[in-house]
Amino acid sequence: MAHPERSSLPKHVAIIMDGNGRWAQSHGMTRTAGHRKGMEVVREIVRAASDFGVGYLTLFAFSSENWRRPETEVRDLLGLLKLFIRRDLSELHRDNVRIRVIGERNNLRSDLLPLLIEAEETTRNNTGLTLVIAFNYGSRDEMARAMVSIARDVADGRLRCEDITPGLIDSRLDTAGIPDPDLIIRTSGEERLSNFLLWQAAYSELMFVNDLWPDFNRAMFCAALEKFAMRERRFGGLSAAQAAVGS
């Protein structure tokens, strides 16, 4: 089985798993069946990321805007997430995977929040892949919550305005302590970020693949990592070749 070169692996890969609905429709199935197939792919990609030695894998499981979907679809998506944690937690723990959940937690259903907390607590000290599940997540909402927490500290005299730096803002986001994504993959041919990790994506490489999420697999993930290794990242500076010409 193909294995990407370890030395040039992205440390953090984030994925917008798009296309479950279109996949279901093209197979004459319900949208829920598409999400269920999508969950199988989640298992495959988590295993692959862990095997390949990726440090962090963030999956956009449910956005703060997804509540606008029909009630039955929302119920089924929440049910799938619960099922994933209930069924897979022990195996993920055994595989040394650490789970983090990002997104707004206030007002989450009482049957879901304890499960998310349990997943984080159980796996807190694991040292393998960190699986970041973005649930009830929206980047603007995350940034607004961070700004409120900073504004409170300024108003109460715990912080001065001059203390507000990119680093301080980082530390108030849900992703505090998690490195910025090196690579963001979106499936299904759509080419946008849809309110996902907007602050953290400042220097991320973006990769848009045409396959629908339920058709995505380990080999395609490996190919994306190999393609990433070929890209040159300059973070606003110059490449070695450009620097040599200029000097």
Q: Mind telling me the catalytic residues?
A: 18, 66
Q: Is 200 in the site for ligand FPP (CB under 6 A)?
A: no
Q: Is 66 in the site for ligand FPP (CB under 6 A)?
A: yes
Element at 185 (helix H, strand E): strand 183-186
Contacts 24+ apart (CB under 8 A), 200-208: 200/173, 200/175, 203/233, 203/235, 203/236, 204/14, 204/180, 205/10, 205/231, 205/233, 207/183
Q: Is 20 in the site for ligand FPP (CB under 6 A)?
A: yes
Span interacting with ligand FPP, options 7-15, 32-40, 108-116, 234-242, rule CB under 6 A: 32-40
Fill in the DSSP letter of residue 7: G
**Contact pick of 9, 13, 15, 17 for ligand FPP (by CB under 6 A):** 17
Largest CA distance in the chain: 62
Q: Is 80 in the site for ligand FPP (CB under 6 A)?
A: yes
45 vs 146, beta carbon nearer ligand FPP: 45
Taking phi first (over 0 means left), then psi (-120 to 50 degrees means alpha), and beta for anything else, what does residue 225 get? Answer: alpha
Question: Residue 158 burial (CB < 10 Å; 0-12/13-18/19+)?
Answer: exposed
Fill in the DSSP letter of residue 187: -
**Contact pick of 9, 13, 45, 59 for ligand FPP (by CB under 6 A):** 59
Residue nearest ligand FPP, CB atom distance: 21
17 vs 116, beta carbon nearer ligand FPP: 17
Q: Is 49 in the site for ligand FPP (CB under 6 A)?
A: no
For the sheet with 183-186, list strands across it. 98-102, 130-137, 56-63, 12-16, 183-186, 205-208
Q: Is 38 in the site for ligand FPP (CB under 6 A)?
A: yes
Q: Is 39 in the site for ligand FPP (CB under 6 A)?
A: yes
132 vs 225, beta carbon nearer ligand FPP: 132
Fill in the DSSP letter of residue 55: S
Tokens for 138, please give them.
């929206």
Window 202-221: contact mask with ligand FPP (x via CB under 6 A): -----------x--------
Structural contact between residues 34 and 229, judged by C-beta atoms closer than 8 angstroms: no
64 vs 204, beta carbon nearer ligand FPP: 64
Question: Rule CB under 6 A: which residues touch ligand FPP?
Answer: 17-22, 35, 38-39, 42, 59, 61, 66, 77, 80-81, 84, 133, 213
Residues flagged as binding site? 18-23, 31, 35, 63-65, 67, 69, 186, 192-194, 205
